[in-house]
Amino acid sequence: MAGAFLALSLGRQGHAVTVFDRRPDPRATDSTASSMNLGLSRRGLSALGRLGLSEEVMRFVVPMRGRLLHNTDGGLRFSAYGDGGILAIQRRDLSALLVDAACREPTVRFVFDTRCTGVDRDLPSASFIDPNGQSLVVKSDVVVGADGAFSVVRRHMHHDRRAEFSQSYLEWGWRELHIPAAEDGSHRMADDVFHLWPRGDIMMFAHPNLDGSFTCSCVLPFHGEHGFDSLRTVEDVESLFRTHFPDVVPLVPDLGETFLRRPTFDLVTISTAPWSHEGKVVLIGDACHAVYPFLAQGMNSALEDALELADSLAHHPTDTSAALTRYSERRKPNTDALATMSHRNFAELRDTVRSPAVRLERACDALLGRLLNDRWVSLHAMITNTTIPYARALHRATRQHRVLQGLAATAAVAAVAGIVRAVRR
Interface residues with its own copies (CB under 8 A) are 162-169, 222, 266, 268
Please, what is the minimum distance in Å from the beta carbon of residue 267 to its own copies?
A: 9
**Which residue number, 220 or 377, has a Cβ lying nearer to its own copies?**
220
Please, what is the minimum distance in Å from the beta carbon of residue 278 to its own copies?
A: 14
Please, what is the minimum distance in Å from the beta carbon of residue 160 to its own copies?
A: 9
Helices (H), 75-179: 91-103, 152-158
Residues near 161 by beta carbon (within 8 Å), at least 6 away in sequence: none
**Which residue number, 162 or 370, has a Cβ lying nearer to its own copies?**
162
CA distance 9 to 6: 5
Please, what is the minimum distance in Å from the beta carbon of residue 342 to its own copies?
A: 17
| Nearest partner of 124 among 270, 320, 323, judged by Cα | 320
Q: Find out whether 212 and 32 touch, Cβ atoms under 8 Å.
A: no
Interhelix angle for 320-351 vs 390-424, to 10°? 30
**Which residue number, 270 or 323, has a Cβ lying nearer to its own copies?**
270
Please, what is the minimum distance in Å from the beta carbon of residue 158 to its own copies?
A: 10
Please, what is the minimum distance in Å from the beta carbon of residue 170 to its own copies?
A: 8
**Which residue number, 223 or 315, has a Cβ lying nearer to its own copies?**
223
**Which residue number, 78 or 169, has a Cβ lying nearer to its own copies?**
169
Q: How many contiguous H segments (helices) and E segments (strands) does the chain have?
A: 13, 19
In 10 A of CB 14, how many CB atoms? 9
Please, what is the minimum distance in Å from the beta carbon of residue 401 to its own copies?
A: 27
Please, what is the minimum distance in Å from the beta carbon of residue 227 to its own copies?
A: 13
**Which residue number, 7 or 288, has a Cβ lying nearer to its own copies?**
288
CA distance 262 to 164: 34
- CA 308 vs CA 10, 50, 276, 330, 391: distances in Å: 11, 11, 14, 8, 15
Please tell me whether residue 82 adopts helix, strand or coil conformation. coil
In 10 A of CB 335, how many CB atoms? 24
Please, what is the minimum distance in Å from the beta carbon of residue 262 to its own copies?
A: 18
Which phi and psi angles does 413 have, rounded to 5°?
-60, -45
Please tell me whether residue 335 adopts helix, strand or coil conformation. helix
**Which residue number, 163 or 181, has a Cβ lying nearer to its own copies?**
163
**Which residue number, 268 or 314, has a Cβ lying nearer to its own copies?**
268
HSE of 342, CA atoms in CB hemisphere, 13 A: 26
**Which residue number, 55 or 164, has a Cβ lying nearer to its own copies?**
164
- CA 38 vs CA 64, 350, 370: distances in Å: 12, 21, 28
